[in-house]
Amino acid sequence: MPTEAIDPPGISWLRVSPRYLTARLLGWGAEAVLVTAALATPLALVLAGTWRWPPLWFAVALPSAYLLLALWRLVLIPRQVRAVGYAERLDDLLIRRGILFQRTLVVPYGRMQYVDIAAGPLERALGLCTLKLHTASAGTSAVIPGLPASEGARLREQLTARGEARLAGL
Amino acid sequence: MNGETGNWQRVHPASPFVRGWLALAALFFFFGRDAAERLLRGGPVFDERFAGRAPWLLLGGGTMLLLVVAGFVLSWYFTRYQVAGGFVRVTTGVLVKQHRQARLDRVQAIDVVQPLLARIFGLAELRFEVADAGQSAVHLAYLRVAEARRLRAEILDAAVRDAPAHAAAGPSARGPEAQRPGVQLDAQFAAGPAGSAAPAAPADPTERPVLAVPPRRLAGSLLLSEQAVVLLLGAAASVLLSALTENRSFSFYLVPAGLGILAGFWASFSKGYNFTAATSPAGIRLQYGLLDTLAQTLPPGRIQALRISQPPLWRPLGWYRIQVNVAGYGTPGQDGERSARTTLLPVGTLQDVTALLDLVLPEAAAAQPGATKPGATNTGSPDANAVLIAGLGGLAPAARIQAQRDTRHTTGNDDGGFTTTPRRARLLAPLGWRRNGFAETGSALLIRTGRWWRHLTVVPHGRTQSIALHQGPVARRFGVVDLVLHTTSGPVAPRVIQAGLAEGRALLLAQAARLSPKTQPAGNPAGDPQEGPQHG
């Protein structure tokens, strides 16, 4: 089924860095290896003969089921990364994400309380950062992941300047 | 203590004992129980065995009492406050000093709270809320009632005086009645029409009563609430089960459940008892409480979102409940007092609802829906009522008219301007699709939901923090989206459910445009082009 984007037409979205895909894939790989290893422990013990209880089919099915799910998520990751986008308009910032579960968020510059930039070790190695906007509402979860560090800094300065110019307060 | 000018003051000397009465009572209970038991058994208060231990007991008890009292007195001595220069400052702490100051013009609400014991002593606690969604920024416990009222008036005067430069004055600034001579000390606050019910004269001469909730109506509203229905159903079920199985044990389960619900009833009743709303130049004033009384003052423009609800059993009686989001009050949760504080009206008639709406969001309902409605050149109040009535109880016309409605839904129809879920998505909400909808007015977005549990949510444009469109796979099949408005935390979570995709997109863009001041950034804080013509 071709999916129709819910965001309003006529907006030129800026996409996040392609290196963010690398970060997501690395994260996925680490998680998949760890969880598969943990789930495969009963299988190894049953095969070695130390454990008798879990029947062989169950010991096989457990890691396989997880692997199938993980592979399904792996297929989705590139689509998800491509679906993340943001657009700076004159008076507000738009952030979209998701294909199956879509969300388009509008934050007026005047409503911003502060801007966070965070970078974990993996993101830092890839030269990426995550930008987060805070408003007076806890429901606003305005996060742009996978920005190049320079773009993140530019966006932060830009947002702060525009926010000051349009400050609405509470 | 530091270089601040102005006089620092202490709270009332009795306040540590009023706050710590529980500790004192426990102490007396602990040492008095022994003697009382002996007295009850008929023995002498002081027998020989006791006489030997008496000095030690007295010494121990006296030391503990002295320590507790000394702690109280020290904490009282080191708690000082000052209201000067646009700030309220409080210093507390004996070993770890805390100095807190809050700007007066950032006040979101001021409450004067009187627990039962404080009421007996003529004392009151003053709570000062700023927009941090947590606990009160500043609370002074306890002051004499007169002093608390004087301080509240002083703070509110300063806040209202400073407000015009600040965007917080918001959309409720100018009303037609502001020019009327009389009770208004300040044109900041547009007082609404007085309700038909006239409560007792308020303590503050600048207050004007708007409405009062009679105790009988409050009791009735509790009897017809959801909990009462659950209680009755549970009782019926357990009686039935007992009769069928000839087993008495079911009634045992009923007793604690019933007691819990009764306790809930009592809490609601004592919180909502004697509820009155009044206007004053400084804002809306709500007072309520049977044993513990609370007087809230909300300066104009502090209400972030508002919801009018009607449970199904209230419908024949035409009763409504209003809850609000106020920055600083936070989410109610299980806390009974907080849920009382976020209630603007525990139970009221349509007349009460309109009176309160006129007060807190004077322009929310006063502008016509849509942009191009003909015949709105007069005062606009009939239209306002039409929107409100449609929002509270309206339904979109059924199938046949719907088709023709879709083609001209912006040019006016008989549903008060509400745009509802498209017919193609009626399987998603077989009952609610004609009810769930939204309407735009000049200064607020009205969202109505629920066919049985009716809700009407009003969010002023100037108070919306951000907007989001959501769509999941099922909603995509039916071509509908949800639109979520983010406001400060509170009991109201505004969400337009299952609007058509095109309508949702259009609404997102329209709301985004309304949120951002298009003209001068500082000139027109509400940022709404329709606001001028409405009241100019």
What pLDDT, in 10s, does the model give residues A106-153? Answer: 999 988 888 999 999 999 999 999 999 998 888 888 999 999 999 999
Contact B489 A135 (CB under 8 A): no
Report yes or no on A5 lying in a domain. no
Contact A92 B476 (CB under 8 A): no
Q: Is the pLDDT of residue B43 over 70?
A: no
**Degrees, nearest 5: CA angle B494-A145-B509:** 40
A22 and A72 belong to one structural domain: yes
Report yes or no on A2 lying in a domain. no
d(CA B361, CA B341): 18
The pLDDT value recorded for residue B102 is 86
Which of A31, A63, A34, A35 minimizes the C-alpha distance to A47?
A63
Instruction: Count interface pairs A-B at CB distance under 8 A.
Output: 113
Q: Which amino acid is at B256?
A: P
CA atoms within 13 A on the CB side of B31: 18
Number of domains in chain A: 2
A106 and A54 belong to one structural domain: no
Report yes or no on A6 lying in a domain. no
What's the complex ipTM? 0.87
Residue that is last in its domain, among A46, A66, A81: A81
Report yes or no on A40 lying in a domain. yes
Residue that is last in its domain, among A26, A58, A81: A81
A91 and A155 belong to one structural domain: yes
Which of A145, A95, A155 minimizes the C-alpha distance to A123?
A145
A31 and A57 belong to one structural domain: yes
pLDDT tens digits, A27-74: 999 999 999 999 999 888 988 888 888 888 888 999 999 999 999 999
**Degrees, nearest 5: CA angle B246-B250-B255:** 140
pTM: 0.78
Pairing of strands A112-118, B109-114: unpaired
Helix (H) or strand (E) holding A92: strand A92-97
Which residue in A102, A140, A168 is closest to B471 by CB distance?
Answer: A102
Contact A166 B472 (CB under 8 A): no
A39 and A105 belong to one structural domain: no
Report yes or no on A20 lying in a domain. yes
d(CA B143, CA B110): 14
A90 and A36 belong to one structural domain: no
pLDDT tens digits, B330-372: 776 655 667 788 899 999 999 999 889 888 887 655 544 433 3
Contact B466 A103 (CB under 8 A): no
**Torsion B157-B162-B164-B170 (CA) sign:** negative
Report yes or no on A170 lying in a domain. no
CATH of the domain at A110: 2.30.29
Q: Count H helices and E strands in chain A, helices first.
A: 4, 7
pLDDT tens digits, B403-423: 444 444 443 445 778 899 998
A47 and A67 belong to one structural domain: yes
Range of the structural domain that residue A156 is part of = 84-165
A64 and A25 belong to one structural domain: yes
A92 and A161 belong to one structural domain: yes
A100 and A53 belong to one structural domain: no
Chain B contact for A135, CB < 8 A?
yes
Spatial neighbors of B256 by CB under 8 A, at least 6 apart, are: none
d(CA A31, CA B43): 75
d(CA B91, CA B94): 10
Contact B512 A108 (CB under 8 A): yes
Report yes or no on A9 lying in a domain. no
B517-521 long-range contacts, CB within 8 A, separation 24+: B517/A91, B517/A110, B517/A166, B517/A168, B518/A91, B521/A110, B521/A165, B521/A166, B521/A167
d(CA B455, CA A87): 34
In Å, how far is A90's CA from the nearest CA of chain B?
9
Residue that is last in its domain, among A81, A109, A134: A81
A74 and A141 belong to one structural domain: no
What's CA B444's distance to the chain center, in Å?
19
> In Å, what is the CA distance from B408 to each residue of B292, B384, B499, B511?
54, 21, 16, 21
The pLDDT value recorded for residue B179 is 31
The pLDDT value recorded for residue B286 is 92
Report yes or no on A161 lying in a domain. yes
A66 and A93 belong to one structural domain: no
